[in-house]
Amino acid sequence: MIDVIIIGSGISGCFLAKKLHEKNLNVLIIEKSKSLGGRFSTKPVGSGLADYGCQYISPKSEILKQLMENLFRKKLVTYIEIEKNKKVYICPYGLNKIPFYLSLGISSVTNQKVYQLVRKTNHWEIKTNLQSFHSKTVILSCPAIQSQEILDKSDINHIKLPNTSYNSFYSLTFSVSKKLNDKIFYFKRDYPWICNNKDKGLLNNDLIYTVNASEKKSQELFIMKNNDRKKIIFSDMNDIGFSNINNMNIHFWKFGFANEQNNANYIYDKKFKLGLCGDSFSIGRVDGSVISANELSKKIK
Ligand SMILES: Cc1cc2nc3c(=O)[nH]c(=O)nc-3n(C[C@H](O)[C@H](O)[C@H](O)COP(=O)(O)OP(=O)(O)OC[C@H]3O[C@@H](n4cnc5c(N)ncnc54)[C@H](O)[C@@H]3O)c2cc1C
């Protein structure tokens, strides 16, 4: 019997796991993807790395500021000044190293999608596509819509999730032989985010870019066949000024980020020992994920 099972290994799930592990609770993280990190995702591109999820961390809340300063002291993250007096944190080995670090010493299983929670007399049975786990407490740390799907399949209907809207868009990562320009971050119509990962501070020899399409452009791309979508993307990248594009990877983020939220910090049903956290709560984005995990951790004994 595990004390707490956390569904989802993004920054919220891993931060919560660390907090509970520090209270000597026995914690297991269950993740549906093949690796931990959620939207803190870093991928090999050619011979280097690209952050293709979260791009940098610009803490607004005290708890995220503390976490980043702590990781800075441990030399896991560093910072760059993107404007006068505005520093943002990045990770030279990719931002996914933050959830990896937070989950050190904590058990986890990957490639297992939770589809149902079953309330037993005194505990939870958590069913995945492969097996079942048993825990006293269960926490969902996925985007609210994904958490809702699990609750629906579990016939749990007394929990009211916040109404969170997510930006959905395509992220592209690729390598090029020549720099576009001297800017770390750049934008063009339809592509509001063009980032040179090497100049951002990733330890890359190669020039590897991350480009996000606008929501409008992404909707146009979404309805195309794969080959047509690829053709348009390559042609748009050429128009922007990229040449010799290699290792192109195209990823659609259905739940990109939740902006400008003003939601409850978390949900915790003390009687059933069921909790929810993540960036659907609090102020959204990374701050929301960490605030909600931190506040929820105080409720779990
Ligand atoms: C391209 C991009 C750029 C961004 N840039 C920034 C930025 O610069 N600054 C910023 O503050 N924020 C940014 N964000 C947003 C930020 O990354 C997120 O707000 C934050 O990472 C969310 O973390 P989380 O732990 O709440 O959720 P997630 O990281 O989504 O974690 C939830 C996890 O749950 C897993 N999961 C879902 N369903 C199941 C299931 N049924 N069973 C098991 N596991 C499941 C998912 O696979 C995922 O790993 C960006 C996001 C994207 C996509």
CATH number at 236 reads 3.90.660.10
295 pocket-lining for ligand 1 (C-beta < 6 Å): no
Residue 52 included in any domain = no
User: 171 and 231, same structural domain?
Assistant: yes
Exposed, middle or buried: residue 196 (CB in 10 Å: 0-12, 13-18, 19+)? buried
Number of domains within the chain: 2
Give residue 258's pLDDT: 83
Give residue 260's pLDDT: 77
133 pocket-lining for ligand 1 (C-beta < 6 Å): no
What string of pLDDT tens digits covers the 301 residues of the chain?
999 999 999 999 999 999 999 999 999 999 999 999 999 999 999 999 999 999 999 999 999 999 999 999 999 999 999 888 899 999 999 999 999 999 999 999 999 999 999 999 999 999 999 999 999 999 999 999 999 999 999 999 999 999 888 999 999 999 999 999 999 999 999 999 999 999 999 999 889 999 999 999 999 999 999 999 999 999 999 999 999 999 999 999 999 988 778 999 999 999 999 999 999 999 999 999 999 999 999 999 8
Question: Residue 77: phi, psi to the nearest 5?
Answer: -125, 160
Give the dihedral sign, CA 159/146/102/80: negative
171 pocket-lining for ligand 1 (C-beta < 6 Å): yes
Pocket test for ligand 1, best of 257, 263, 282, 292 (most atoms within 8 A of CB): 257
Instruction: Quick: pLDDT tens for 55-71.
Output: 999 999 999 999 999 99
CATH of the domain at 288: 3.50.50.60
Give residue 254's pLDDT: 96
How far is ligand 1, taken at its centre, from the CA of residue 75, in Å?
23
Structural domain harbouring 104: 2-43+57-164+261-297
Contact partners, residue 181, CB within 8 Å, separation at least 6: 241
User: 280 and 244, same structural domain?
Assistant: no
User: 179 and 126, same structural domain?
Assistant: no
285 pocket-lining for ligand 1 (C-beta < 6 Å): yes
How far is ligand 1, taken at its centre, from the CA of residue 224, in Å?
25
How far is ligand 1, taken at its centre, from the CA of residue 239, in Å?
31
Give residue 259's pLDDT: 75
Instruction: Quick: pLDDT tens for 206-252.
Output: 899 999 999 999 999 999 999 999 999 999 999 999 999 999 999 99
User: 133 and 244, same structural domain?
Assistant: no
8 pocket-lining for ligand 1 (C-beta < 6 Å): yes
256 pocket-lining for ligand 1 (C-beta < 6 Å): yes
Residue 225 included in any domain = yes
Give residue 73's pLDDT: 98
How far is ligand 1, taken at its centre, from the CA of residue 280, in Å?
10
User: 160 and 253, same structural domain?
Assistant: no
User: 234 and 95, same structural domain?
Assistant: no
How far is 259 from 274, CA to CA, in rounded Å?
25
Residue 175 included in any domain = yes
User: 279 and 186, same structural domain?
Assistant: no
Residue of minimum CA distance from atom 25 in ligand 1: 10
53 pocket-lining for ligand 1 (C-beta < 6 Å): yes
User: 288 and 170, same structural domain?
Assistant: no
The answer to whether 278 and 141 are in contact (CB under 8 A) is yes
User: 139 and 211, same structural domain?
Assistant: no
Residue 96 included in any domain = yes
User: 292 and 232, same structural domain?
Assistant: no
User: 148 and 118, same structural domain?
Assistant: yes
How far is ligand 1, taken at its centre, from the CA of residue 32, in Å?
13
Contact partners, residue 191, CB within 8 Å, separation at least 6: 211, 212, 213, 214, 217, 236, 240
Residue 207 included in any domain = yes
Category of 158 on φ-ψ map: left (φ > 0), alpha (ψ -120 to 50) or beta: alpha
Give residue 84's pLDDT: 87
253 pocket-lining for ligand 1 (C-beta < 6 Å): yes
